[in-house]
Structure 1
Amino acid sequence: MRLRHKPWAKDKLESHPEFVVHNPEDWKGKWDQAFKNNGPIHIEIGTGKGRFITEMAKANPMINYIGVELQESVIVSALDRLIEADVPNLKLMNMNAEKLTDYFEKGEINRVYLNFSDPWPKTRHEKRRLTYKTFLDSYQSVLEDKGEIHFKTDNQGLFEYSLQSFSAYGMLLKYVSLDLHNSNYEGNIMTEYEEKFSERGNRIYRCEVQFK
C-alpha cells in the first residue's frame, strides 16, 4: 500500500515541541529531565498512528513512553491522537531506529515494543527486519541489564524468523503465544493493524524475550 504524502506534516510536527522531540541526541543520558521524573522508559519502534503507545501511556501513568516512527506522514496521526489524549508521560520521535545509540545511554530504556513490523520477506532484505541481529545489538546497547523486547505480528514467517534470531542471540524466551486473541493473556492493547488483521481472521503471534 502506498503511503499518502502529507506535505504539511513536517510543519505540524515542528509546531508541537511539547509532544515531539526534534533533537533527541540533546537528551541522551537526560531523559529523566525530559519527562521530569525518574520513571521507567518504554519505547515502541515503528509506532505508526500511535494507538498502542497512547493507550499504554494512559493505562500506565507511572511509566514514560516514547514512540519512534520514521515516516512523517504516519507519525503526524500519532501526534493528533496524543494531542487529544494529552498524556504527560508520552513523547514522539520522528527518527530512524537504527540510530538509537545516538539518542539513549546504556540502561536508559527498560523495554522495547515491536508491533507489526514490516516483515521484509525477501532474503536480500533480511538486514532490514527489526529483529535482525544488528537491531538486537542496538536494543541491547540502550536497554537496562536483562531488558525485554515485547513483539507482536500477524506474519508467521516473521515470527518464526524472530524466534530463531532471539535464540541465536542468546536471549531468554519468557512468553510466547501462537494465537494471542484466543489465549488467556490479559491486558492486551491492540494496534490499528492488529484490529484490522484480527477482524480478517488472521492469527496474532506474540512473545516476550529478555537479554541475559
Structure 2
Amino acid sequence: MRLRHKPWAEDKLKAYPQYVVQQPEQWKGKWGEVFQNDQPLHIEVGTGKGQFITGMAKANPHINYLGIEMQTSVIVSALDRIIDEELPNVKLLCVDGSKLLEFFAKGDVNRVYLNFSDPWPKKRHEKRRLTYKGFLKLYEDIMVNEGEVHFKTDNQGLFEYSLMSFSHYGLLLNFVSLDLHKSEFEGNIMTEYEEKFSEKGQRIYRCEVKYPR
C-alpha cells in the first residue's frame, strides 16, 4: 500500500520537542538527561504509527521508551498518540535506524524491539534485514551487557532466518512462540499490523534473545 505523503508532518514534529527529540546526536551517552531520570531505556526500531511503543510506555511507567521511525508521514501518527496520552516516559526519533551509533553510546539501551520489520525476501537484500548480523552487531554496540532483542513478525521465512541469524551470532534464546496469540504469553501489546494480521487468522511469531556476557 502506497504511503500517503503528509507535507505538514515535518513542521508538526518540530513543534513538539518535548516528545520528538531534536538533534539526537547531542544526547549520545546522556539519554537519562532527556527523560530526567535513570530508568532503563528500551527502543523500537521501526515504530510505525506508535501503537506498540505508547502501549508499552503506558503499561510500564518505570521504563523509558524511544520509538525510532525515519518516515515523517508515519511517525507523525505516533506523535498524535503520545500527545493524546500525555506519557512522560516515551519519546520519538525521526532518524534512520541503521545509524544508531550516531545517537547511542555503549550501555545507553537495555532492550531493542523489532516488530513486523520489512522481510526483504530477496537474497541480495539480506543486509537490509533488521536481524542480519550487521544489525545485531549494531544493537550490541549500544546496549548494556546482556541486553535483549524482542522480535515479532507474521513472516515465517523472516522468522526462520532470524532464528538462524541469532544462533550464528551467539545470542541466547529466552523465549520463542510459533503462534503467539494461541500461547500462554501474558502482557502482549499489539502493533497495528499485528491487529490486522491476527484478525485475518494469520500466525504471529515471537522470540526473545539475549546477548551473552
Per the TM superposition, whether the score is higher than 0.5 is yes
How far apart are residue 108 of structure 1 and its match?
A: 0.9
- Amino acid paired to 1:156: Q
Distance across 1 between alignment mates of 2:3 and 2:132: 24
Question: What SS does structure 2 have at the residue aligned with 1:207?
Answer: strand
Taking the TM superposition and a 5 Å limit, the aligned residue runs for 1:99-178 are 99-178=99-178
- Amino acid paired to 2:174: K
In structure 2, what is the equivalent of residue 38 of structure 1? 38
Indicate whether 1:65 and 2:65 are aligned.
yes
Deviations 1:92-120 (A, max 9, x none): 00001111111111011000000000111
Question: What SS does structure 1 have at the residue aligned with 2:70?
Answer: coil
Deviations 1:26-78 (A, max 9, x none): 10111001000000000000000000000100110010000000111000000
- Amino acid paired to 1:85: E
How far apart are residue 84 of structure 1 and its match?
A: 0.2
Distance across 2 between alignment mates of 1:157 and 1:111: 24
Q: TM-score, normalised by structure 1?
A: 0.99
Question: What SS does structure 2 have at the residue aligned with 1:7?
Answer: coil
Indicate whether 1:184 and 2:174 are aligned.
no
How far apart are residue 175 of structure 1 and its match?
A: 0.4
How far apart are residue 154 of structure 1 and its match?
A: 0.3
How far apart are residue 22 of structure 1 and its match?
A: 1.9
Distance across 1 between alignment mates of 2:98 and 2:49: 20
Deviations 1:4-42 (A, max 9, x none): 111010000011000001211110111001000000000
How far apart are residue 169 of structure 1 and its match?
A: 0.4
Distance across 1 between alignment mates of 2:31 and 2:22: 13
Q: TM-score, normalised by structure 2?
A: 0.99
Distance across 1 between alignment mates of 2:99 and 2:187: 31
In structure 1, what is the equivalent of residue 28 of structure 2? 28
Percent identity, aligned pairs only, is: 68
Question: What SS does structure 2 have at the residue aligned with 1:127?
Answer: helix
Moved over 4 A (4+): none
5+ residue gaps, structure 2: none
Question: What SS does structure 1 have at the residue aligned with 2:113?
Answer: strand
How far apart are residue 190 of structure 1 and its match?
A: 0.3
How far apart are residue 124 of structure 1 and its match?
A: 1.0
Distance across 1 between alignment mates of 2:122 and 2:71: 22
Q: How many residue pairs are counted as aligned between the two chains? A: 212
In structure 2, what is the equivalent of residue 76 of structure 1? 76
How far apart are residue 140 of structure 1 and its match?
A: 0.2
How far apart are residue 2 of structure 1 and its match?
A: 1.0
Distance across 2 between alignment mates of 1:186 and 1:137: 29
Deviations 1:147-196 (A, max 9, x none): 00000000000000000000010100110000000000000000000000
5+ residue gaps, structure 1: none
